[in-house]
């Protein structure tokens, strides 16, 4: 029987195979990344932790808590930065970065990416955005949900969508300017629970430097 109140922190194939940048994931799209904690769980043969609360939280003054919560939410959403994040998400920084010539590109050999417009949040919103979502109880809802359904290329919206760091690491850093393929790469990283930033760096290092990547697995 399905229980929507169960929350699961889990690893995937990357963690099971002790990839050094394996993540722990919640709901397929919320990640503890960059530091290899997925490999730590994998080394202990621990695939998932499931939690389900059963008791209510007793509040001394529920009415006051509700009032404070509403006030905080209003202050957050009145902030221009919060409104910008809601509309554009973290990809909103792509435009100012590439226009200023500081968008990480071609394995950090330059900050200028000629096709930077293709990677902006505005382009993402117009092309592959399906919806938005947020972390638990956060009113901003900055996370992008994307979907692609074309012959030969499909991206499952269950895996969310790319953040700024992913667009840079799997996009401009690798010389890729098509958001559909970046979204597909993001989906694959999420499916296998690999950190997108480290994955992008590992992919573009041999391409732009001629170096060989040593396998540690």
pLDDT tens digits, one per residue of 86-107: 999 999 999 999 999 999 999 8
* Any domain includes 27: no
Q: What is the pTM of this model?
A: 0.88
Q: What is the mean pLDDT of residues 185-200?
A: 96
The answer to whether residue 60 is domain-embedded is: no
Q: Which residue has the tokens 């509309």?
A: 87
pLDDT bin (cut points 50, 70, 90) of residue 216 is very low
Query: Would you say residue 126 lies in a domain?
Result: yes
Could you tell me if residue 114 is inside a domain?
Answer: yes
Q: ∠70-72-73 over CA atoms, to 5°?
A: 65
For residue 74, being part of any structural domain is answered with no
Proportion of the chain in helix, strand, coil states, percent, rounded to 5:
45, 15, 40
pLDDT of residue 214: 46
Tens-place pLDDT, residues 8-56: 999 999 999 999 999 999 988 899 888 899 999 999 999 999 999 999 8
69 is a domain residue: no
CATH of the domain at 96: 1.10.569.10
Mean pLDDT of 190-195: 96
- CA angle, 151 then 154 then 157, to 5°: 150
13 occurs within a structural domain:
no
Which domain covers residue 163, as residue numbers?
Answer: 79-207
Our count of domains for the chain comes to 1
Q: Taking 90 as the threshold, does the pLDDT of residue 136 lie above it?
A: no
Q: What is the pLDDT of residue 203?
A: 87
Torsion of Cα atoms, 69 then 73 then 75 then 81, to 10° = 150
In a domain, 90, yes or no: yes
Residue 144 has pLDDT above 90, yes or no: yes
| Alpha-carbon gap, residue 149 to 172, rounded angstroms | 23
| Contacts of 206 by beta carbon, 8 Å cutoff, 6+ apart | 212, 213
Yes or no: say if 120 and 99 are a contact pair by the CB < 8 Å rule: no
| Enclosing H/E stretch for 153 | strand 153-155
- Does residue 209 register a pLDDT over 80? no
């Amino acid at each position: 029987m399905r229980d929507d109140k169960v929350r699961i922190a889990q690893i995937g194939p990357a963690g099971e195979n002790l990839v050094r940048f394996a993540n722990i994931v919640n709901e397929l799209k919320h990640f503890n990344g960059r530091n290899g904690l997925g490999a730590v769980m994998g080394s202990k043969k621990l695939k998932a932790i499931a939690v389900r609360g059963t008791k209510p939280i007793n509040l001394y003054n529920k009415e006051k808590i509700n009032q404070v919560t509403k006030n905080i939410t209003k202050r957050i959403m009145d902030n221009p930065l919060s409104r910008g994040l809601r509309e554009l998400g973290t990809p909103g920084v792509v435009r100012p970065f590439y226009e200023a010539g500081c968008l990480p590109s071609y394995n950090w050999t330059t900050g200028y990416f000629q096709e930077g417009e293709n990677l902006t949040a505005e382009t993402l919103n117009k092309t592959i955005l399906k919806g938005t979502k947020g972390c638990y109880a956060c009113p901003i809802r900055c996370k992008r949900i994307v979907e692609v359904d074309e012959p030969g290329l499909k991206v499952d919206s269950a895996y969310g969508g790319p953040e700024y760091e992913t667009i840079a690491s799997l996009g401009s850093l690798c010389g890729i300017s098509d958001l559909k393929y970046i979204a597909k790469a993001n989906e694959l990283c999420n499916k296998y629970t690999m950190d997108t930033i480290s994955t992008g760096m590992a992919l573009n290092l041999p391409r732009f430097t001629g170096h060989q990547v040593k396998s540690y697995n």
